[in-house]
Structure 1
Amino acid sequence: MDSLIAESANVIDGATSISYTGRRLSERVERAAEASDSVRYGTVLALTPLSVAGVMRFLGVWASRRPIALVDANTPREHLGELVWRYQPVLITGVRDPEVHHGLGVPFDGYVEREHDGLGPCWERLAPPDHRPDPELGLLLSTSGSTGSPKLVRLPRTAVVSNARAIAKALEIGPADVAATCLPLFYSYGLSVLTSHLAAGAAVVVVDGGVLSRGFWDAAAAHKVTSLSGVPYSYQLLDRMRWEPSASPGVRVLTQAGGQLAPELIAAFDRKMEAVGGRMYVMWGQTEAAARMTVLPSCLTRTRLGSVGVPVEGGRITIEPPDAPGRDVAPGTIGEVVYRGPNVMWGYAESSADLADRDLVGGTLRTGDLGRLDEDGYLWLIGRLRRIAKVFGNRVSLDDVERLLAPLGEFAAVSRYDQVVVVGEAVDGQGRRTVLDALSRGLRLDRSGFVVESVDALPRLPNGKVDYRTLDREGTR
């Protein structure tokens, strides 16, 4: 069985308070599935806003057993055109959604606009695609929520379902739980919040705007939301807002993934939740694993502060030398984190021909993350394997640079030519001198190897992570 919807699952429209559960939910999903089935078999490319319509389109296409690629509703036409050219979707959904603010204009060459009951206005491909996708291929996502690369992650149906159920079990999600859509659905973590709750028979309040929106908090209060999920940036915003559980009395669970949150913030939010009998979970994952691989049990947040926990059910982690794959190292030794489990992707795709391939990685994901396992099997992440710069011939970890500067504020480090460029928000002259002193002293390298730049706001991806691609636009090496 690869259904993502348990019998008691509930999708609630945060704007209208309309609830879709039981027969009402199944009828909406069936209508979308029938519309998907009305066209020839192939991939569906879904422009996916945070809306009930976006959720129903995803669930309907999933029920029709067709691969679905979820992309940002505001993907620029030129980038959308490249995705269409590469992957030859038989349907493009969401083309007239009100959330598509910039407008897409007329259909692409070879497509015609048609209304499909259950899916809404779609662009339908007139010619069959050159390649038939594998029938067990379920989901296509861009890594990290970025729309800057046409390469997509190929996730089989079994990977999506197994991870949804494993997460539901690890987080103890049950039918009484109510989650809110704090993150985009085209981002693997945001989609995982949806699928794990629906698979457990819980409720999901679909509301746009995030934690800075009054409408978000109004919907959370009206529908008695019990859990909030966020990336590090989400919790930085909540910290700046001085959020307290008393402001959202129903919230009893916080979950965090999508990057490493500062230990002091983890501890602070853990204390807030413990004071009201709630729980704080720290997790780690990647889009390539559909999308969460480890969970730190909430009871250990304080005693293992900084760890991202143990693998979810069915998963296994080893630490291997980057230059000797397949060879385990002793506990405590730093190496590349390798994950094995049923939720691992089949590989990447760069064209429609790749969608016909089956599993090319054998359930093994070399994550590119550096980490270590302690004696009890808990994972501690150190940084990225390839986030390395050279300064005066010395290898410098850009992750180490950011950690070194964390007490001074949030900074993003990139490599440009033979220097490390550190970018921060509203850094004045004294701030630059302080940063350069900290880098020179902490890394034992001359200050001339570093440049400090100031911006009004760090560029961010839809998932809240720093957009290093934008910061790298001058070229890196």
Structure 2
Amino acid sequence: METKFSLPETHPEFRLNGLYYTNEELAAVAYSLIKEGEPYEGQAGNFLLDWLNDKDYIEVKTSGSTGPPKVISIKKQQMVNSARSTGKFFDLGPGTTALHCLPTNFIAGKMMLVRAMLLGWKLDLELPKANPLDRIFKIYDFCAMTPFQLDNSLSRLHLIKKLIVGGGAVSSNLRNLVQGINTKVYETYGMTETVSHIAARNVNARGKKLEEPLPFTTLPNVKIDIDERDCLIIEAPQLSDETLITNDVVELISENKFIWKGRIDNLINSGGVKLYPEEIEAKLAPIIAHRFFVTSLPDPALGEKLVLMVESEFSETALNNLEREIKVCRKLGKFEVPKKIYFVEKFEETANGKIHRANTLKSRIT
């Protein structure tokens, strides 16, 4: 028989914007944030009320990056387990100073609050925007950002000691930009269904040669395997009641390490050769200054042909220069060279700012 969830009291060292609150006091703070705060503070207030209510679950909206956004229920006990696992993995104990600069209506933002309350962090709420550090003048032990926020915060990253980056892949260009800095930057792997991240990789380990590709290491109590499609299977009973079968193609390195190759939804079969766009994009990133992605178009001989989409105005010079750069790129395999390059003035985007590949391709080709 399942034990009823009992909400843990806030840790004695917990601080929110400098002040300590018990669970009882947090309810009043939540109402105040909703009524008098900025919209992002109201989001935090709404979550705190959900956290403090009698239900043993929280309703969470998925991001919609791998399909239409949907609302799922996550048990509060699973959120507690995830918070403790993160604290252990990243060595973030009581007294950790942390900056919260993510929207609290998604799982990553909710988990920052849960970690702070349970682990005894001193958490400051900041507006979730492109460059969240621009008004920050103190040093924090920990912060979580999206790749877009990281890209816009490079000049002030010395204010963060440990940073986790999630909600999208960290490009090889961005990885190169964080080499040699003191901040420890970790790219995370996870999803709403796994209560944020279940694996991470340090993308700028000092004194170590950067491996390519870089493997992810799982957090405690997470078991991984692959199915017949080579897609990742996640078994984490503390975080999910079900075994999760993902659409992420991976290569297993060991029982707790894997290399992410790409989404099976994006897999291209060109003349019988399997091509993973994300792998090819990582190889092209150092030679393309603009946003871009690789995808496929139907081809009578190959079935699918590899094409490159670049977000930029078209010019013959730009096309010729790019074709020449690609031709001499030694990292690219014979079948990884795009058969055609398309320039698109503005990419179509999803609601949360990610590139909508299918719509961009459709609008350009039709």
The two structures share one fold, judged by TM-score above 0.5: yes
Mapped contact 1:233–1:465 kept (Cα < 8 A): no
By relative contact order (CA 8 Å, sep 6+), the higher-ranking structure is 1
Structure 1 SS opposite 2:105: coil
Matched, 1:342 2:237: yes
Structure-2 change in CA distance of 1:450 and 1:389 (3 Å):
farther
Structure-2 change in CA distance of 1:272 and 1:149 (3 Å):
same
Structure 2 SS opposite 1:254: strand
Aligned equivalents of 2:128 and 2:364: distance in 1?
Answer: 33
Report the alpha carbon displacement of residue 172 of structure 1 after superposing the two structures with TM: 1.6
Mapped contact 1:168–1:199 kept (Cα < 8 A): no
Mapped contact 1:188–1:287 kept (Cα < 8 A): yes
Greater displacement, 154-163 / 435-444: 435-444
Report the alpha carbon displacement of residue 377 of structure 1 after superposing the two structures with TM: 3.8
Determine the structure 1 residue equivalent to 2:111. 192
Mapped contact 2:294–2:307 kept (Cα < 8 A): yes
Structure-2 change in CA distance of 1:384 and 1:447 (3 Å):
closer
Mapped contact 1:435–1:452 kept (Cα < 8 A): no
Mapped contact 1:317–1:339 kept (Cα < 8 A): yes
After superposing on structure 2, the runs of 4+ consecutive aligned residues of structure 1 that deviate more than 6 Å are none
Mapped contact 1:50–1:207 kept (Cα < 8 A): no
Determine the structure 2 residue equivalent to 1:79. none
Mapped contact 2:60–2:105 kept (Cα < 8 A): no
**One-letter code aligned to 1:284:** Y
Matched, 1:221 2:221: no
Structure-2 change in CA distance of 1:194 and 1:170 (3 Å):
same
Determine the structure 2 residue equivalent to 1:124. none
2:268 to 389, 408, 411: 389
* Structure 2: segments with no counterpart, 5+ residues: 1-5, 32-36, 300-304
* Structure 1: segments with no counterpart, 5+ residues: 13-18, 34-47, 67-135, 323-334, 346-358
Mapped contact 1:255–1:283 kept (Cα < 8 A): yes
Determine the structure 1 residue equivalent to 2:302. none
Aligned equivalents of 1:10 and 1:49: distance in 2?
Answer: 19
Aligned equivalents of 2:225 and 2:327: distance in 1?
Answer: 32
What TM-score, normalized to structure 1?
Answer: 0.61
**One-letter code aligned to 1:8:** E
Determine the structure 2 residue equivalent to 1:89. none
Matched, 1:259 2:164: no
**TM alignment of 1:26-425, pairs within 5 A:** 26-29=24-27, 51-66=40-55, 136-144=56-64, 149-212=68-131, 216-218=133-135, 220-221=136-137, 224-239=139-154, 242-243=155-156, 245=158, 248=159, 251-263=160-172, 265-266=174-175, 268-273=177-182, 278-296=183-201, 302=208, 305=211, 306-322=213-229, 335-345=230-240, 359=241, 362=242, 364-375=243-254, 377-391=256-270, 395-409=274-288, 410-418=291-299, 420-425=306-311
Mapped contact 1:270–1:280 kept (Cα < 8 A): no
Report the alpha carbon displacement of residue 168 of structure 1 after superposing the two structures with TM: 1.7
Mapped contact 1:197–1:204 kept (Cα < 8 A): yes
Structure-2 change in CA distance of 1:139 and 1:312 (3 Å):
farther
Structure-2 change in CA distance of 1:192 and 1:377 (3 Å):
same
Determine the structure 2 residue equivalent to 1:431. 318
What TM-score, normalized to structure 2?
Answer: 0.77
Q: How many residues matched?
A: 342
Mapped contact 2:312–2:343 kept (Cα < 8 A): no
Structure-2 change in CA distance of 1:65 and 1:314 (3 Å):
farther
Structure-2 change in CA distance of 1:434 and 1:205 (3 Å):
same
**One-letter code aligned to 2:50:** V
1:11 to 11, 16, 33: 16
Aligned equivalents of 2:152 and 2:347: distance in 1?
Answer: 13
Structure 2 SS opposite 1:226: strand
Aligned equivalents of 1:170 and 1:161: distance in 2?
Answer: 14
Which deviations, in whole Å up to 9, do the C-alpha atoms of 1:421-456 show, x marking residues without a partner? 533232542333344562898464698843412234
Report the alpha carbon displacement of residue 292 of structure 1 after superposing the two structures with TM: 0.5
Structure 1 SS opposite 2:109: helix
CA RMSD of aligned residues (A): 3.7
Structure 1 SS opposite 2:50: helix
**One-letter code aligned to 1:318:** D
Which deviations, in whole Å up to 9, do the C-alpha atoms of 1:124-178 show, x marking residues without a partner? xxxxxxxxxxxx44232223568x8253333222222211221122122233222
2:345 to 418, 435, 455: 455
Q: How many percent of aligned residue pairs carry the same amino acid? A: 15
Structure 2 SS opposite 1:471: helix
Structure 1 SS opposite 2:104: coil
